[in-house]
């Protein structure tokens, strides 16, 4: 029985994620053999660490295999069953899951049979698939379906035409089973029904697949190709159908744009027509099964495109186009192909490694970002293996012809009939020229020359502008803090210290509808993209207009308006409105409603209805662009909130099947900040004209608020540039590269909107706590309208201040306000419990002045206990920790003060992302310790050395931070003092960049790998993972629990920060109350809560906050802002300026002297909070804190609140307790299983004893496999624990390993250890390298040329701080990413080499991919540039290129290549050295610009040794 | 904001004064305004705090101080002037006489010198008058409602201006001959020249405010009459009941209340007619000012200018600490040792002094008998204890009692209306409305004696409450 996931509490099934390992094997010549299946098995088993097991540790998340129909075998089997099979290709086989209940199964099978016969095919018979379920885990067993195969005669049809009929039959049966059998039929699932391939799959761990299906072991089962898949999902719910492969593909990754793709597919159905299907086409609808996973939907869409006539590679190119921006060298025809198809279909965007097959072709492709590993290998006897890892099948070296990897956006195809591998270039150029796409585009695409040139002067009427600004809710603060910085700098404004204002639904002020939405962002299960350094893959280009039949291709398909970006100036829109051509008409529809009304809700509804009707009418009159406009507001007409208008038209047209008939353009006075534009695009707008924003800028300029020397054109340009950057950034947070797939993807969560509004206008958006409806939306719109059109009394300012960002007396409420800050400081400075009580009261009593969701909670009183019996405060404070604040974001003084205070309490402080001075590991004379118990591992890995890991009690992987989840950050050069630079292994004065993703976490299985690495780096340490609350965070937390983390931290959206874009502070993530409750619910539902602790943080201020957190399921609590306030912070919100007058958020020595905080202050605060907790515990009747955890029954909603907006809220989903009747735990009661037990290092350690004990030289030799991960790290930990960070003397331990190394080979390797790998390695080699040496060389006897073959994987040397690496071959993408000190020689690298590098030296003796040195701020790279084209591959934003002419450069280079030769016997090195005088001229030296300046300054300063000025002052002046 | 780290780059530059020797010979103002460049630097010190305590807790009017500072820094004086007037009707007055609680609440005052907020305000408004930016802003539409305001001090004037701008007809009744109340008669010219009041009154008049001076409501016209002629009334007659000193010898005729003493000099300065009998001068006299507050200081400065031989100032409370004491932590208005400009001009100040009696000849006081005291905390309150052996006697020619004010005068209008009073004797209000629905009250009448800024704010509040009530 399928135990289907159901939405309950805060949990929603659609946020489930999965990731996995994939593989494929093919005999290039098409020779069918059973060995192919065996290879498939080997691949799967060797990828098992990429899958995961459920709560019972025995149920896998799913595994499966796709291969060619084994005719020989089935023929015999069927004969035995009493029927004969026709010739191969003339019959189809279906693999059918069904109910265990015979009657239901029969009913479903009957439907399938009649569907088959409906299309004129003949049922030959059924076969029970032999299975042996004694290998299954309990959970999988409970869900096991009956599995049968159906054999269908093509009745004369064969191959393609038979395949189509089978496809129709399957789709028809799926629809009819749902209709006729209903819910009972949900076990019915056809894994495949085809005349060429078959899929065996189920809820297995890798090995179980083969144990379960004896068929697969039968020697007669032969195939020329196979695709295998191993799944890692975020839940533990059994569901056999979620296993992969699907009918055409196996996918590793996640499609972030799914909801947009779904809607777009639905919109296309109306116009779909195909000769091959004729009238039957409607049988295929819906093309995408509702609620199916992203991969399943992709498979369905691909299947449609293929069955209707496109080739599989062609369809793949449409759905996962490679990046074709100006920075890519690609042919004009190919670029035209992609552009043409972008007018037809949006990319299915997200990390994706796909393998696909139609039975003849087998291929693999990677998305444009290449964020999933995909390696291939071709043997001399015609076998090709594609897999997530190398080494999954072992071959002797002499049998390997080539080794490679799929590059971003590239495809590898094997044609088993032609018997050859077809290269990416060949496939694509052939497809790109099969039609005259380029000519079609040139002749049809509409660009209206000049239309999108630089915007011209905007006319605004200064007399009425204030009126209009008020009517659209503008405040003075927005002009000052949002629009002005955008216009002046072309950048989104930055702020600090988080958010402490109420949610829109709790605010007394009329809020824009935009404010009721929160951006979603990628965390863990897929990576964010770096929109700055890796922006070349991104695109804002959109096509708007009438869309044509997707199953067809014609010149008319691209008869659309092409926009380079979605922002239209006021002039643009006027020009556009004036367009009138027969085949391209523009209509303006009015988004207004009656202002003069007693019943606002009805007036608004009438307005919306009329808006949708006029849209329909305009389309029927032939418009291909609709302009939704609120320009004509008046005394009697108020604007419909632009988001509501847009979403209403978008969904209205979708529902009426008209969405593809016209593009939507929004002309509104309302949008002005980045979030607004993102929302409008996300809910369907193709382009936006923010007319009032432009007018306001004009007005500001007129009033002299903007620099007088700025041209109005420049102002508008800057503003547009800022929006563009902001949209790119918002898309990148979700891991989306193109606006085309972001449009309509609805990647938002609503907070405070009721179900009716959401279902009707924002269909498909999560809104979990109810809230306001149309009536309140109208009321708020009218309040703005009234304020706009009512005469203001004399002397009153034309615009209200606002107070959303900075406190103002009459503005928005803030929880941090003069009272709370000053009372808290008084309390801790004077140990004044009364002042603390005042403070806590001011924060806690939100009954009148709502600020947070928890403010609306009420405790359910229980039987009180005497406070004397309650656990002492000294125990409670141990559950407290401080937030991750780096030394860098705050001063040394503040950072150490916090550490001392927390250590005195036995609580934990957190290093933040900035490393830590090893001096702090030594105890102070007075017994204090400055060593932070929690050490953070963030994306830039600053200061993350083996020694750092070894001194932690807990290691925290920061996936996201509350103030800016999904974003990177940077520490500007002027803050990088000598001290900071030392701790972060960088150069003083040089800007440091933290990329948005961890470059070793692109998926959940990658996270599990990093956890594994860290545990190797300090066996016994606990690992926590920091997530930010958003809808779906619970499922991510479940994945984290399955990844062996010991703790998960749920941060609220409002957390503080040193610097973050304001749109991120305000609009991303959700309150921790929601995230925590969801996490607790999902962990309990999956029975995973017992093994993982939960921590919460985000604007925690009082004991009441702690108790609410505990009842919702948290065991530990983090304080950030409050801790800083106790040390003197008064929330100037100027951290990003580095001008903190209290010496906290600054590195300026003069200001640091002002730091007046004392550890005692923070200690007192923690005790005050703990005492408040005790009082509440006594009142609620809890003696032990742990008894309180997860007791959500003790919370209820405060019903007494009568706030016109808050009264619509419904917290029942938050207070939902999953079924725990089986006695499962609701808090952590046991440790995670120890996954280090079978680590190969234990064996190495045994053999390395002489070295460890006596520093004797030791050589160890052993074979290894790709399943041996993180080799050398435990050994290194033992060395550093014993000998300190300096490790062992050079050359003490030498370990020679033969074979393919698993991921993270030599991570954090210590000095004195040399790992010599003969073979190849997977991703993350040398991660965090801490002084050791890694050598990788090809085995003797390999026939291939080393420097043309991939020998190691992606993301090498990530965060390496010292040591050296020699690689006799080519490395994958992101080589030496964020390297800060290691030396590396390699013979070629993929894209993004040396990205974000801050130090060290890299020598590349061969080709590089594109975007080399992006974000590189330090270190040096030497690249052999034989073709003299390196400058076209290099990202020159931050670096300069020069030839190698200085003697010391030449010497260094020669020395390094010499050592490379010595260690690896590289033929390449030898060749270069032999021709040294000729070769040296071909090297290019890559030097970061700032780095060079800083080095020069330092050198100059060193020379002036009589000068008293320290070098650093020179540097950052 | 101004400049990042502007507060480090520029030090606070306080307003200069004319030299003491020169300024004590006249009653003119003596501040020496900063140059425009210097002002811009001072504005650059403002950090535009996320929580501006100056605006949030310091300024009783909640002036938009960070925004104003920024505008000044950006040289946008006219907009600054407009923004200043959005919360403060009379910045030219607060810019001169406000004790600037904003500055003691300034974040910088925690470990540095606060931003020069008050003087920036002064400069803005003076520039505003100079450039003609401060124009009458008559209401676009009239409501036809009539409101009587009793008293023309800062609260009454602010209420009047706000109500007139909201379109109501406003009449101010003032018992004195000229408009201004405490501003005109309480504050000496050297702190606030009376022409300053005049130019503002012109604006009020142009906005439609009518003035009835020399009319004491309750005496010259009755409350009943007011009720009949007006839709409502706003009491803003201050808290004129002075605290007295009940000791032997209080009855001598050269023992004056500060307000009487200051009023006389103010009238002289303005050439107002005054009974000769009420003119008391300190010329060549030994003067004792009892009371160490602002009013006391004003008396010291006045006596100095009148040519006193010697001036003493006695305060019964102990000497405040040099720095902020923990019982008034930042951002509160601190109890701290302050030295006014008047004290600088020459005066012997003593603290913890209790006056025990006066003695003299016939009707005139000749000696002041006093002793030192200490303050002892007892049951949560403070008690005075005489210090034995500290009695002293001082020859004095003139004694001025500046012991503060108790509450609104109860005789007359307040009594006639039968208004409810609180335990301190002030008029009780709920959102500015008294126990008699058509009577509102504002300023010191409600709060007891307080700052000018508080009074203006209260007047604005009352105006808003009245406007709402009238439109209701």
Residues B248 and B390 in one domain: yes
pLDDT in tens, A577-596: 888 778 889 999 999 999 99
Average pLDDT of the residues in A517-539: 89
* Closest residue of chain A to B108, computed from CA coordinates: A1141
Q: What is the pLDDT of residue A3?
A: 54
Which stretches of A1263-1304 are DSSP H helices? 1273-1283
Q: How confident is the model at residue A58 (pLDDT cuts 50, 70, 90)?
A: confident
Tell me, yes or no, whether B259 lies in a domain. Answer: yes
Q: Looking at B373, B403, B433, which one is the last position of a domain? A: B403
Residue B112 near chain A (CB below 8 Å): yes
* Closest residue of chain B to A795, computed from CA coordinates: B86
Q: What is the ipTM metric for this complex?
A: 0.93
Residues in chain B with CB shorter than 8 Å from the CB of A791 are 140-141
Radius of gyration over every alpha carbon of chain A, rounded to an integer in angstroms: 32
Minimum mean pLDDT range among A446-450, A488-492, A716-720, B100-104? A446-450
Tell me, yes or no, whether B150 lies in a domain. Answer: yes
Q: How confident is the model at residue B428 (pLDDT cuts 50, 70, 90)?
A: very high
Tell me, yes or no, whether B140 lies in a domain. Answer: no
- Above 60 in pLDDT, residue A1? no
Average pLDDT of the residues in A454-458: 50
The neighbouring-strand residues paired with B361 are B364
Q: What is the pLDDT of residue A238?
A: 64
Domain tally for chain B?
A: 3
CA distance A1140 to chain B (A): 8
**Phi, psi torsion values for A1494, nearest 5 degrees:** -65, -40
Q: How crowded is the C-beta side of A1357, counted as CA atoms within 13 Å?
A: 40
pLDDT in tens, A783-812: 999 999 988 888 889 999 999 999 999 899
C-alpha angle A942-A948-A949 in degrees, rounded to nearest 5: 110
Q: What is the pLDDT of residue A1358?
A: 97
Q: How crowded is the C-beta side of A455, counted as CA atoms within 13 Å?
A: 29
Q: Does A822 sit within 8 Å of B330, measured CB to CB?
A: yes
pLDDT in tens, A971-992: 778 788 889 999 998 888 888 8
Radius of gyration over every alpha carbon of chain B, rounded to an integer in angstroms: 23
Residue with tokens 């002749």: A443
Q: What is the pLDDT of residue A1503?
A: 56
Residues B17 and B97 in one domain: yes
Tell me, yes or no, whether B105 lies in a domain. Answer: yes
Q: How crowded is the C-beta side of A595, counted as CA atoms within 13 Å?
A: 24
Which stretches of A734-876 are DSSP H helices? 739-742, 755-761, 774-789, 818-830, 833-844, 873-876
Residue B138 near chain A (CB below 8 Å): yes
Q: Does B53 sit within 8 Å of A822, measured CB to CB?
A: yes
CA distance B271 to chain A (A): 34
Residue B139 near chain A (CB below 8 Å): yes
Q: Alpha carbon A955 to chain centroid distance?
A: 21
Residues B104 and B171 in one domain: no
Q: The tokens of B231 are what? A: 């839709």
Q: What is the pLDDT of residue A196?
A: 96
Average pLDDT of the residues in A1411-1418: 93
Average pLDDT of the residues in A1310-1315: 97
Closest CA to A94 of A177, A186, A166, A185: A166
Q: Does B326 sit within 8 Å of A807, measured CB to CB?
A: no
Residues B366 and B455 in one domain: no
Residues B49 and B180 in one domain: no
C-alpha angle A1063-A738-A291 in degrees, rounded to nearest 5: 90
The residues, any chain, with a CB within 8 Å of residue A372's CB and separated by 6 or more, are A252, A253, A351, A352, A353, A366, A388, A1002, A1003
**Phi, psi torsion values for A623, nearest 5 degrees:** -70, 140
- Above 50 in pLDDT, residue A1038? yes
Selecting from B4, B51, B76 the residue whose C-beta is nearest the C-beta of A821 gives B51
pTM for the model stands at 0.94
- The strands making up A63-68's β-sheet, listed across from edge to edge, are A197-202, A63-68, A225-233, A18-27, A383-387, A375-379, A400-405
Domain that holds residue B275: 244-403
Q: What is the pLDDT of residue B207?
A: 96
Tell me, yes or no, whether B98 lies in a domain. Answer: yes
Q: How crowded is the C-beta side of A389, counted as CA atoms within 13 Å?
A: 34
Q: How confident is the model at residue A1150 (pLDDT cuts 50, 70, 90)?
A: very high
For residues A1290 and A900, give the distance between their C-alpha atoms in angstroms, rounded to a whole number.
Answer: 37
- Above 80 in pLDDT, residue A456? no
Minimum mean pLDDT range among A103-117, A134-148, A379-393, B67-81? A134-148
Q: Please report the DSSP string for A303-356 in residue order.
A: HHHHHTT--HHHHHHHHSPPP-STTS---HHHHHHHHHHHTT-----S-EEEEE
Local structure of residue B185 (DSSP, 8 states):
I
The residues, any chain, with a CB within 8 Å of residue A610's CB and separated by 6 or more, are none
Q: Specify the DSSP element, H or E, that contains A148.
A: strand A146-153
* Closest residue of chain A to B47, computed from CA coordinates: A1132
Average pLDDT of the residues in A1191-1198: 93
Residues in chain B with CB shorter than 8 Å from the CB of A704 are 74, 76
Minimum mean pLDDT range among A46-50, A414-418, A1361-1365, B371-375? A46-50
Buried b (16+ CB within 10 A) or exposed e, A1132-1170: bbbbbbbbbbbbbbbbbeebbebbbbbbbbbbbbbbbbb
CA distance A841 to chain B (A): 18
Q: What is the pLDDT of residue A992?
A: 84
Q: The tokens of A348 are what? A: 């299915």
Residues B272 and B173 in one domain: no
Contact B291, B312 (CB under 8 A): no
The neighbouring-strand residues paired with B170 are B147
Average pLDDT of the residues in A329-347: 94
Residue B52 near chain A (CB below 8 Å): yes
pLDDT in tens, B385-401: 999 999 999 999 999 99
Residue B11 near chain A (CB below 8 Å): no
- Above 80 in pLDDT, residue A846? no
Q: How confident is the model at residue A1515 (pLDDT cuts 50, 70, 90)?
A: very low
Tell me, yes or no, whether B137 lies in a domain. Answer: no
- Above 80 in pLDDT, residue B190? yes
Helix, strand, or coil (residue A197)? strand
Q: For residue B454, give the CATH number of its domain.
A: 3.50.50.60
CA distance A1428 to chain B (A): 46
Distances (CA, A) of B312 to B290, B347, B402: 8, 6, 12
Residues B298 and B393 in one domain: yes
- Above 80 in pLDDT, residue B171? yes
Contact A1421, A1403 (CB under 8 A): yes
Residues B174 and B250 in one domain: no
Residues in chain B with CB shorter than 8 Å from the CB of A485 are none
Mean pLDDT of chain B: 93
* Closest residue of chain A to B330, computed from CA coordinates: A822
Q: How crowded is the C-beta side of A85, counted as CA atoms within 13 Å?
A: 26
Q: The tokens of B165 are what? A: 């701008």
Q: How confident is the model at residue A459 (pLDDT cuts 50, 70, 90)?
A: low
Residues B260 and B283 in one domain: yes
- Above 50 in pLDDT, residue B452? yes
Tell me, yes or no, whether B138 lies in a domain. Answer: no
Q: The tokens of A1120 are what? A: 């950030």
- Above 80 in pLDDT, residue A476? yes
pLDDT in tens, A223-248: 999 999 998 887 766 688 889 999 99
The neighbouring-strand residues paired with A146 are A98
CA distance A824 to chain B (A): 12
Average pLDDT of the residues in B47-70: 96
Average pLDDT of the residues in B107-126: 96
Q: Does A1131 sit within 8 Å of B51, measured CB to CB?
A: yes
Residues B190 and B179 in one domain: yes
- Above 50 in pLDDT, residue A1509? no
Tell me, yes or no, whether B85 lies in a domain. Answer: yes
Q: Looking at B131, B165, B195, which one is the last position of a domain? A: B131
Q: How confident is the model at residue A1009 (pLDDT cuts 50, 70, 90)?
A: very high
For residues A746 and A767, give the distance between their C-alpha atoms in angstroms, rounded to a whole number.
Answer: 12
Catalytic residue list of A: 20
Average pLDDT of the residues in A1479-1485: 95
Residues B259 and B392 in one domain: yes
Q: Does B140 sit within 8 Å of A794, measured CB to CB?
A: yes
Size of interface A-B (CB pairs under 8 A): 123
Q: How confident is the model at residue A1510 (pLDDT cuts 50, 70, 90)?
A: very low
For residues A695 and A701, give the distance between their C-alpha atoms in angstroms, rounded to a whole number.
Answer: 10
Residues B108 and B154 in one domain: no
Q: For residue B52, give the CATH number of its domain.
A: 1.10.1060.10
Q: Looking at B353, B371, B403, which one is the last position of a domain? A: B403
Average pLDDT of the residues in A1265-1272: 95
């Amino acid at each position: 029985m399928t135990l289907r996931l159901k939405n309950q509490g805060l949990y929603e099934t659609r946020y489930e994620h999965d990731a996995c390992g994939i593989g494929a094997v093919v005999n290039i010549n098409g020779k069918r053999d059973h060995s192919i299946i065996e290879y498939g098995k080997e691949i799967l088993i060797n990828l098992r660490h990429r899958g995961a097991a459920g709560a019972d540790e025995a149920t896998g998340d799913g595994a499966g295999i796709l291969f060619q129909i084994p005719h020989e075998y089935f023929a015999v089997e069927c004969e035995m069953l009493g029927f004969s099979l026709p010739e191969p290709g003339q019959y189809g086989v279906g693999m059918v899951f069904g109910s265990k209940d015979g009657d239901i199964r029969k009913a479903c099978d009957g439907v399938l049979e009649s569907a088959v016969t409906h299309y004129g095919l003949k049922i030959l018979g059924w076969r029970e698939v032999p299975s042996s379920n004694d290998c299954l885990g309990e959970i999988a067993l409970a869900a096991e379906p009956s599995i049968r195969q159906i054999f269908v005669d093509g009745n004369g049809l064969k191959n393609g035409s038979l395949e189509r009929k089978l496809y129709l039959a399957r789709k028809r049966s799926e629809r009819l089973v749902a209709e006729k059998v209903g819910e009972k039929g949900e076990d019915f699932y056809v894994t495949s029904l085809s005349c060429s391939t078959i899929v065996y799959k189920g809820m297995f761990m890798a090995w179980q697949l083969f144990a379960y299906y004896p068929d697969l072991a039968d020697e007669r089962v032969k195939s020329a190709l196979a695709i295998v898949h191993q799944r890692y999902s975020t839940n533990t719910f059994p569901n056999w159908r979620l296993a992969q492969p699907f009918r055409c593909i196996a996918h590793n990754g996640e499609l972030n744009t799914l909801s947009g793709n779904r809607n777009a597919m639905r919109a296309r159905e109306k116009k779909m027509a195909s000769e091959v299907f004729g009238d039957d086409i409607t049988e295929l609808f819906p093309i995408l099964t509702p609620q199916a996973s992203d991969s399943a939907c992709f498979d369905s869409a691909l299947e449609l495109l293929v069955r209707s006539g496109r080739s599989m590679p062609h369809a793949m190119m449409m759905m996962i186009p490679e990046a074709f921006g100006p920075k890519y060298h690609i042919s004009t025809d190919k670029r035209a192909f992609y552009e043409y198809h972008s007018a037809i279909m949006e990319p299915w965007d997200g990390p994706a490694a796909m393998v696909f097959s139609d039975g003849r072709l087998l291929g693999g492709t990677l998305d444009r970002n290449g964020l999933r590993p995909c390696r291939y290998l071709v043997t001399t006897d015609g076998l090709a293996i594609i897999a997530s890892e190398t080494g999954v099948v072992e071959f002797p070296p002499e049998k390997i012809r080539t080794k490679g990897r799929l590059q971003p956006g590239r495809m590898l195809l094997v044609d088993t009939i032609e018997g050859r591998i077809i290269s990416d270039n060949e496939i694509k150029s052939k497809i790109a020229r099969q039609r005259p796409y380029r000519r079609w585009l040139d002749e049809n695409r509409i660009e209206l020359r000049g239309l999108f040139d630089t915007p011209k002067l905007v006319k605004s009427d200064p007399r009425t502008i204030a009126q209009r600004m008020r009517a659209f809710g503008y405040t003075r603060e927005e002009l000052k803090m949002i629009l002005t910085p955008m216009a002046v700098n072309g950048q989104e404004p930055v702020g600090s210290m988080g958010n402490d204002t109420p949610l829109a639904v709790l605010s007394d002020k009329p809020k824009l509808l935009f404010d009721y939405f929160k951006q979603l962002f990628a965390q863990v299960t897929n990576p964010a993209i770096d929109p700055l350094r890796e922006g070349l893959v991104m695109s804002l280009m959109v096509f708007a207009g009438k869309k044509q039949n997707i199953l067809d291709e014609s010149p008319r398909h691209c008869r659309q308006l092409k926009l380079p970006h979605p922002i239209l100036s006021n002039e643009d829109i006027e020009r556009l409105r004036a367009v009138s051509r027969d085949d391209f008409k523009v209509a303006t529809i009015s988004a207004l409603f009656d202002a003069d009304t007693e019943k606002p809700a009805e007036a608004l509804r009438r307005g919306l209805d009329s808006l949708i009707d006029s849209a329909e009418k305009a389309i029927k009159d032939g418009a291909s662009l609709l302009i939704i406009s609120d320009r004509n507001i008046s005394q009697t007409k108020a604007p419909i909130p632009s988001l509501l208008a847009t979403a209403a038209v978008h969904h209205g047209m979708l529902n009426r099947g008209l969405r593809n008939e016209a593009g939507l353009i929004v002309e509104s006075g309302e949008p002005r900040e980045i979030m607004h534009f993102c929302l409008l695009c996300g809910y369907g707008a193709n382009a936006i004209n923010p007319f009032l924003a432009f007018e306001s800028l004009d007005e500001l300029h007129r009033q002299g608020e903007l620099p007088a020397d700025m041209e109005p054109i420049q102002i508008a340009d800057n503003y547009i540039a800022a929006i563009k950057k902001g949209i790119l950034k918002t898309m990148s947070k979700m891991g989306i590269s193109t606006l085309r797939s972001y449009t309509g993807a609805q990647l938002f969560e609503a907070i405070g909107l009721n179900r009716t509004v959401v279902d009707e206008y924002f269909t498909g958006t999560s809104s979990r706590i109810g809230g306001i409806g149309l009536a309140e939306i109208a009321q708020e719109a009218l309040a703005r309208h009234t304020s706009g059109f009512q005469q203001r009394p004399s002397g009153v300012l034309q615009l209200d201040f606002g107070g959303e960002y900075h406190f103002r007396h009459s503005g928005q409420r803030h929880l941090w306000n003069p009272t709370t800050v000053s009372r808290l400081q008084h309390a801790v400075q004077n140990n004044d419990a009364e002042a603390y009580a005042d403070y806590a009261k001011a924060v806690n009593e939100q009954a009148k002045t709502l600020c947070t969701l928890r403010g609306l909670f009420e405790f359910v009183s229980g039987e009180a206990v005497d406070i004397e019996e309650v656990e002492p405060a000294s125990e409670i404070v141990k559950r407290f920790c401080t937030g991750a604040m780096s030394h860098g974001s705050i001063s040394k003084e503040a950072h150490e003060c916090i550490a001392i205070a927390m250590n005195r309490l036995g609580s934990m402080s957190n290093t933040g992302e900035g490393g830590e001075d090893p001096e702090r590991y030594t105890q102070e004379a007075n017994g204090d310790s400055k060593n932070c118990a929690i050490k953070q591992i963030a994306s830039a890995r600053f200061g993350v050395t083996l020694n750092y890991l070894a001194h932690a009690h807990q290691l925290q992987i920061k996936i996201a931070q509350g103030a800016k989840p999904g974003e990177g950050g940077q520490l500007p050069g002027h803050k990088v003092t000598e001290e900071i630079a030392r701790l972060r292994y960088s150069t003083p004065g040089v800007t440091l960049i933290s990329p948005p993703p961890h470059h070793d976490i692109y998926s959940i299985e990658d996270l599990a790998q990093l956890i594994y690495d860290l545990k190797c780096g300090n066996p016994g340490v606990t690992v926590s993972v920091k997530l930010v609350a958003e809808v779906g965070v619970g499922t991510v937390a479940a994945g984290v629990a399955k990844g062996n983390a010991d703790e998960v931290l749920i941060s609220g959206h409002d957390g503080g920060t040193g610097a973050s874009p304001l749109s991120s502070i305000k609009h991303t993530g959700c309150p921790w109350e929601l995230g925590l409750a969801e996490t607790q619910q999902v962990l309990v539902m999956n029975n995973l809560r017992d093994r993982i602790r939960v921590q919460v943080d985000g604007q925690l201020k009082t004991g009441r906050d702690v108790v609410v957190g505990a009842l919702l399921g948290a065991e530990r609590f983090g304080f950030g802002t409050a801790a800083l306030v106790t040390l003197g912070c008064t929330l100037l919100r100027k951290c990003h300026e580095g001008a903190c007058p209290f010496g906290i958020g600054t590195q300026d020595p003069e200001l640091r002297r002002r730091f007046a905080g004392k550890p005692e202050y923070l200690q007192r605060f923690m005790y005050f909070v703990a005492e408040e907790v005790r009082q509440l515990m006594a009142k609620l009747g809890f003696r032990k804190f742990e008894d309180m955890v997860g007791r959500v029954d003790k919370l209820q909603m405060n019903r007494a609140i009568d706030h016109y907006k808050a009264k619509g809220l419904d917290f029942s989903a938050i207070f939902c307790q999953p079924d725990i009747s089986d006695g499962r735990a609701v808090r952590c009661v046991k440790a995670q299983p120890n996954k280090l037990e079978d680590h190969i290092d234990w064996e190495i350690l045994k053999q390395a004893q002489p070295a460890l004990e006596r520093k004797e030289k030791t050589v160890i030799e052993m074979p290894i496999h790709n399943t041996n991960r993180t080799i050398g790290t435990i050994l290194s930990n033992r060395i550093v624990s014993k000998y300190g960070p300096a490790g062992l003397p050079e050359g003490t331990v030498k370990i020679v390993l033969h074979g393919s190394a698993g991921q993270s080979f030599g991570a954090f390797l210590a000095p004195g250890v040399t790992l010599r790998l003969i073979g190849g390695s997977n991703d993350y080699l040398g991660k965090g390298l801490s002084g050791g040496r890694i050598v990788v060389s090809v085995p003797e006897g390999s026939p291939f040329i080393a420097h043309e073959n991939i020998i190691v994987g992606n993301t090498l040397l990530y965060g390496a701080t010292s040591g050296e690496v020699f690689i006799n071959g080519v490395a994958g993408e992101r080589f030496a990413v964020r390297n800060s000190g290691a030396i590396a020689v390699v013979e070629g690298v993929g894209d993004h080499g040396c990205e974000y590098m801050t130090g060290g030296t890299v020598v590349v003796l061969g080709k590089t991919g594109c975007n080399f040195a992006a974000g590189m701020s330090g270190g040096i790279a030497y690249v052999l540039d034989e073709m003299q084209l390196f400058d076209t591959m290099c990202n020159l934003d931050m670096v300069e290129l020069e030839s190698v002419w200085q003697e010391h450069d030449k010497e260094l280079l020669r020395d390094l290549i010499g050592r490379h030769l010595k260690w690896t016997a590289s033929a390449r090195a030898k060749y270069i050295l032999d021709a040294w005088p000729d070769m040296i001229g071909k090297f290019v030296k890559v030097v970061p610009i700032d780095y060079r300046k800083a080095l020069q300054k330092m050198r100059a300063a060193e020379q002036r040794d009589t000068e008293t000025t320290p070098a650093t002052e020179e540097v950052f002046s | 904001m101004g400049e990042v780290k502007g507060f480090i780059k520029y030090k606070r530059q306080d307003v200069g004064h004319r030299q003491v020797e020169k300024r004590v010979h006249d009653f003119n103002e003596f501040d020496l305004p900063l140059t425009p460049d210097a002002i811009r630097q001072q504005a650059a010190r403002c950090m535009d705090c996320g929580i501006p305590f100056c605006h949030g807790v310091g300024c009783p009017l909640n002036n938009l101080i960070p925004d104003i500072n920024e505008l000044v820094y950006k040289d946008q004086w006219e907009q600054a002037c407009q923004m200043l007037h959005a919360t403060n009707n009379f910045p030219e007055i607060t810019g001169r006489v406000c004790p600037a609680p904003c500055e003691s609440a300034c974040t910088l005052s925690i470990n540095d010198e606060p931003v020069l907020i008050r003087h920036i305000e002064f400069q803005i408004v003076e520039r505003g008058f100079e450039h003609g930016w401060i124009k009458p802003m008559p209401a676009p539409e009239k409501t036809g409602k009539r409101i009587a305001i009793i008293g023309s001090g800062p609260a009454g004037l602010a209420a009047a201006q706000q109500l007139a701008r909201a379109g109501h007809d406003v009449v101010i009744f003032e018992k004195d001959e000229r408009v201004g109340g405490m501003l005109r008669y309480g504050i000496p010219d050297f702190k606030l020249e009376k022409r300053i009041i005049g130019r503002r009154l012109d604006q009020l008049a142009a906005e439609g405010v009518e003035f009835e001076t020399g009319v004491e409501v309750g005496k010259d016209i009755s409350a009943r009459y007011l009720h009949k002629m007006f839709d409502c009334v706003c009491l803003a007659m201050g808290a004129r009941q002075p605290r007295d000193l009940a000791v032997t010898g209080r009855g001598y005729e050269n023992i004056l209340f500060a307000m009487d003493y200051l009023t006389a000099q103010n009238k002289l300065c303005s050439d107002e007619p005054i009974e000769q009998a009420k003119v008391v001068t300190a010329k060549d006299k030994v003067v004792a000012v009892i009371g160490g507050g602002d009013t006391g200081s004003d008396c010291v400065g006045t006596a100095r200018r009148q040519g006193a031989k010697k001036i003493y100032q006695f305060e019964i409370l102990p000497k405040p600490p040099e720095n902020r004491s923990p019982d008034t932590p930042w951002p509160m208005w601190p109890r701290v040792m302050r030295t006014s400009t008047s004290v600088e001009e020459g005066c012997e100040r003593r603290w913890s002094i209790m006056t025990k009696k006066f003695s003299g000849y016939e009707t005139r006081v000749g000696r002041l008998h006093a002793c030192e005291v200490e303050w002892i905390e007892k049951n949560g309150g403070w008690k005075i204890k005489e210090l034995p052996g500290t009695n002293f006697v001082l020859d004095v020619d003139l004694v001025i009692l500046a012991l503060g004010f108790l509450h609104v005068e109860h005789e007359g209008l307040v009594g006639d209306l039968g208004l409810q009073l609180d335990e301190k004797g002030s008029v009780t209000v709920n959102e500015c409305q008294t126990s008699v629905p058509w009577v509102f009250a504002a300023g010191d009448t409600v709060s007891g004696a307080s700052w000018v800024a508080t009074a203006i704010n209260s007047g604005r509040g009352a105006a808003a409450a009245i406007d709402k009530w009238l439109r209701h």
